[in-house]
């Protein structure tokens, strides 16, 4: 039995707690079943953005004909795109590995660990124990029970980055953000892409007008089927055949492709980790349950990040890690504040979103909604994207911002302006109302959405002046 001061399970945002523990003189064990750096670095945000940026450039070039510039794609150097991707991933990974090796008091267990009793884990042949534990164990791909899927070769987000040659064709199962980002990348580099989603819309957690526009635009380059029932998958002479029923068509269809990517959501790693053996409660899907301080049901065991099963973004995990670091080692406990959690989807078009959707907000309070089109501003017109839009949701009468969505060029940067206002003291759009906005920029589209607020679920009161 080896004893440590702290065990951290997961080397993604979990690493953010390690330094604080070492600074307190604690010996720390890191348990990590995959490559160091977690999902974001190795098979998530970082590698995918290197690919997606190449796709963005291709689509921008093709769309430029609308504004009078005719460009021709000479070719795509798939090997160079992949080399750039691995350069950033592997340099980040090696830097972290070297840092761990060179740090006294830090031990790495590169295996799946599972709890065997209170505060005690079995990792390979070793047993380790600590009075303080952080569960930042992430999530993994959920593989749906489709007949035949277990008998064919398929990719998940963990392996799709390993495709060596530019694919001639690919079928993507799943219409969430992973499916939409890879459909954008592969279709832009010239792969024939078929996207098959079970949900009636793409990106079901976004505003309905976001889902509609993403489906419309992706469909220009991708064969998109939503609301489908996938009947079976089978190998077909070195290729993979997927049979499905699209509600818009009367007969079943079979699509064959060189590759299959399964992107139908994620599942908890609790079946590996067995947190119940150390008294940590999970919900019915295996996600770890915590209070506002990110404490689990067991004293001195904290959890955060994808292991909680919601807000699965690296920036949220980093924020949560800072809360846990404080609550483990600080003077005074602080609670978590998730009123302004932002995210982006890097597809075509780009999507940025923060806080509540209109439906969520309307179910709880009186709200005003403002919508503007990029195209009604000078810079938006210059871009030539007639469908790009901004939507903002504000509480009435406090003017507190409840949420916002941006769909179009630079959406992730534009929505960040709203995130920052939602994180200000008043949480209102007063800073924007007072600010001079550089003219002409896309930021004007954001400002004009706040300038067009309309009551969404109440009748405005008309004041009659009494003489």
* 358 CB-near residues (< 8 Å, 6+ apart): 207, 367, 369, 391, 393, 403, 456
d(CA 48, CA 78): 14
Residue 2, beta-bridge partner list: 128
**DSSP H or E stretch at residue 163:** none
Give the N- to C-terminal CA distance of the chain in Å, as an integer.
Answer: 86
Tokens encoding 190: 């010239």
d(CA 434, CA 457): 27
Distance of CA 9 to the CA centre of its chain: 21
CA dihedral 446, 452, 456, 459 (to 10 degrees): 160
Strands 253-257 and 126-129: unpaired
Do residues 403 and 393 make contact, with C-beta atoms less than 8 angstroms apart?
A: yes
Q: What are the b/e assignments for 343-382, b being 16+ CB within 10 Å?
A: bbbbbbbbbbbbbbbbeebbeeeebbbbbbbbbebebbee
Strand extents, DSSP E, 305-363: 342-345, 351-355
Neighbours of 124 (CB within 10 A): 11
Tokens encoding 195: 């996207």
Reply yes or no on whether 155 is catalytic: no
Collapsing DSSP states into helix, strand and coil, what is residue 63?
helix
Catalytic pick from 184, 439, 462, 467?
439
Do residues 249 and 130 make contact, with C-beta atoms less than 8 angstroms apart?
A: no
d(CA 212, CA 349): 11
The catalytic residues are: 439
């Amino acid at each position: 039995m080896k004893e440590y001061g702290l065990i951290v399970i997961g080397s993604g945002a979990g690493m953010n707690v390690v330094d604080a523990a070492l600074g307190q003189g604690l010996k720390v064990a890191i348990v990590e079943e995959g490559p160091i750096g977690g999902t974001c670095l190795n098979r998530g945000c970082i590698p995918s953005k290197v690919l997606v940026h190449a796709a963005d450039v291709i689509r921008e070039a093709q769309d430029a004909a609308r504004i009078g510039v005719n460009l021709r794609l000479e070719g795509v150097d798939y090997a160079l795109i992949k080399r750039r991707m691995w350069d950033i991933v592997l340099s980040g990974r090696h830097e972290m590995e070297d840092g761990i090796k060179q740090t006294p008091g830090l031990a790495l267990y590169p295996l799946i660990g599972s709890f065997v009793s209170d505060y005690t884990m079995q990792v390979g042949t070793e047993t380790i124990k600590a009075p303080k534990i952080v569960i930042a164990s992430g999530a993994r791909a959920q593989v749906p029970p489709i007949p035949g899927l277990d008998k064919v070769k398929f990719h998940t987000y963990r392996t799709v980055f390993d495709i060596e040659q530019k694919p001639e064709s690919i079928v993507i199962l799943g219409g969430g953000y992973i499916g939409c980002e890879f459909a954008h990348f592969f279709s832009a580099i010239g792969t024939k892409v078929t996207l098959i989603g079970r949900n009636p819309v793409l990106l079901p957690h976004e505003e309905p007008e976001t889902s509609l526009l993403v489906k419309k635009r992706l469909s220009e380059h991708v064969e998109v089927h939503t609301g489908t029932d996938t009947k079976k998958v089978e190998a077909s002479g070195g290729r993979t055949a997927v049979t499905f029923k699209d509600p818009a068509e009367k007969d079943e269809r079979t699509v064959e492709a060189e590759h299959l990517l399964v992107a139908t959501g994620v599942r908890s790693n609790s079946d590996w980790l067995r947190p119940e053996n150390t008294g940590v409660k999970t919900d019915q899907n295996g996600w770890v349950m915590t209070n506002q301080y990110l404490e689990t049901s067991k004293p001195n065991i904290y959890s955060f990040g994808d292991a909680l099963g919601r807000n699965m973004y690296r920036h949220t995990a980093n924020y949560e890690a800072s809360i846990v670091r404080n609550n483990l080692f600080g003077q005074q406990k602080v609670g978590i504040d998730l009123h302004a959690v932002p995210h982006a989807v890097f597809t075509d078009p780009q999507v940025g979103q923060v806080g509540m959707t209109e439906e969520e907000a309307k179910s709880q309070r009186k709200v005003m909604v403002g919508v503007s089109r990029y195209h009604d501003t000078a810079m938006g017109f210059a871009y030539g994207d007639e469908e790009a839009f901004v939507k903002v949701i504000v509480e009435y009468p406090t003017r507190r911002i409840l949420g916002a969505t941006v769909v179009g060029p630079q959406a992730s940067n534009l929505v960040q302006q709203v995130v920052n206002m939602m994180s200000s003291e008043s949480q209102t759009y007063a800073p924007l109302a007072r600010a001079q906005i550089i003219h002409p920029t896309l930021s004007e589209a954001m400002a004009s959405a706040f300038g067009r607020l309309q009551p969404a679920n109440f009748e405005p009161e008309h004041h009659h002046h009494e003489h």
